[in-house]
Amino acid sequence: MTTTDTEDRNRKRPSDEDVDIYNEDGNVRSDFLARLGAAIADRDTLFLRQNVARLHESEIGDLLESIQPDQRLALVRLLGDDFDMTALTEVDETIRREIVDQLPNEQIAAAIGELDSDDAVYILEDLDKEDREEILAQLPFTERVRLRRALDYPESSAGRRMQTEFVAVPPFWTVGQTIDYMREEEDLPYSFSRIFVIDPTFKLLGAVDLDQILRTKRQTKIETIMRETNHPIPAEMDQEEAAQLFEQYDLLSAAVVDENERLVGVLTIDDVVDVIHEEADEDIKRLGGVGDEELSDNVISTVRSRFLWLLINLGTAMLSASVIGLFDGSIEKMIALAVLMPIVASMGGNAGTQTMTVTVRALATRDLDIYNAGRIIRREAGVGILNGILFAILLGAIAGIWFHNYQLGAVIGAAMIINLMAAALAGILLPLLLDKMGADPAIASSVFVTTVTDCTGFFAFLGLATWWFGI
């Protein structure tokens, strides 16, 4: 029974001399890019094999992202069988699709057969269904079944991220049998650090670390030294939740099981690091309303990604403008109101964004839940009131001196307290409400929080001024 816990997939190829492609700032050297461009133009395959083919896949990925779009496919074709397809897992989706769509399915199938299953799934999931099926049909039966099973799981699940290669043995084997099996079996993973223990139906019973195997006498049965698997991960579990388990329990790898608790794969720390990076990147982009945009996207794709949220923002801006319209007469009689009102709204927007950012991140990491929500809401309300008082004093004094009207300073100070209090509550309550409704709080919180702070700020300042000065 074979399969593996491959914890060191990022293996560097042996070479006589390392090729340094980075400058001291960590960027790809411009002189190397120039030489690479010339080699591609001259079809200098000797240079490419000596200076590119033997690089680590992450370094090749950096090169693909740094060179011109028309050079990428040329580089891949010139390298031919020497091109490491794993490098495509190191580039963004746009570049990966751009390259894969231009390669013949036969070449992709041959390369896929050499990859770890998680890397193979990462590439296959971006392909059209017809191309994917044609590529899978060219793979050996066992490998085809494994990849199909992984592809059947939801896109952002642990099942999609897992490796289907692992080592598993029955509990009645001895340590000696297990060691002999690992020495003699040719179809074992390149690297693994844990052996899983299963019953005849492949139900997960436990696991044994290799160091425990090496310290135990040969006649000892595996069942006597195995331990329960730490936190097996359901294949349907969201990848972000799986990553949180790794963080919480300091895991290096974890078994992935199906609904019947049968072992189907293993999730390793290198995959989880990628998940954490992707989820953080996704949250930051959604907070800014830019969708799944990549740096390599063209103008049309970027416009399409940003247009919707800009349109929604236009609608909320019109709502804020309508609040100002209610007090147009007051503004005509007192021009100072027009000068000062953007300050109140801007301060509220920034304060709301601060609270919202902390809240969205706390929700994403599960640090904010029903048990501590009340305490955090009270804390943010207190922060809003205290900041409101401090900036009310500062801005009130500035406005009073600027316009020689200390009553106006008092009015804008009161409006500042109201708006910063509203900003703090909106910054935490809106993400909580969206999360409760099952929506991603990172998607729409910024638009809604800004709308609340703008409308509250304008209404509080202009309303108080109209009432106080009778205009």
CB 464 within 8 A of CB 415: yes
Residue 14: band (very low, low, confident or very high) from pLDDT cuts 50, 70, 90: very low
Q: State how far Cα 294 lies from the chain centre.
A: 13
* DSSP per position, 404-449: T-HHHHHHHHHHHHHHHHHHHHHHHHHHHHHHHTTS-HHHHHHHHH
pTM reported for the whole predicted model = 0.69
Superfamily grouping for domain 30-153:
MgtE N-terminal domain-like (1.25.60.10)
CATH topology of domain 168-287: CBS-domain (3.10.580)
Average pLDDT over residues 286-293: 68
Higher pLDDT, 462 or 191: 462
The CATH number of 299-469 is which of 1.10.357.10, 1.10.357.20, 1.20.90.10, 1.10.10.10? Answer: 1.10.357.20
**Would you list the domain boundaries of the chain?**
30-153, 168-287, 299-469
Window from 157-166, 235-244, 252-261, 313-322 with minimum mean pLDDT: 313-322
CB 152 within 8 A of CB 199: no
Which of 9-13, 248-252, 415-419: highest mean pLDDT? 415-419
Which of 60-64, 248-252, 272-276: highest mean pLDDT? 60-64
The predicted-structure confidence for 413-460, as pLDDT tens digits, reads as follows 999 999 999 999 999 999 898 888 877 787 666 778 888 999 999 999
pLDDT of residue 301: 78
The predicted-structure confidence for 71-128, as pLDDT tens digits, reads as follows 999 999 999 889 999 999 989 888 998 899 888 999 899 888 888 888 999 899 988 8
pLDDT of residue 7: 39
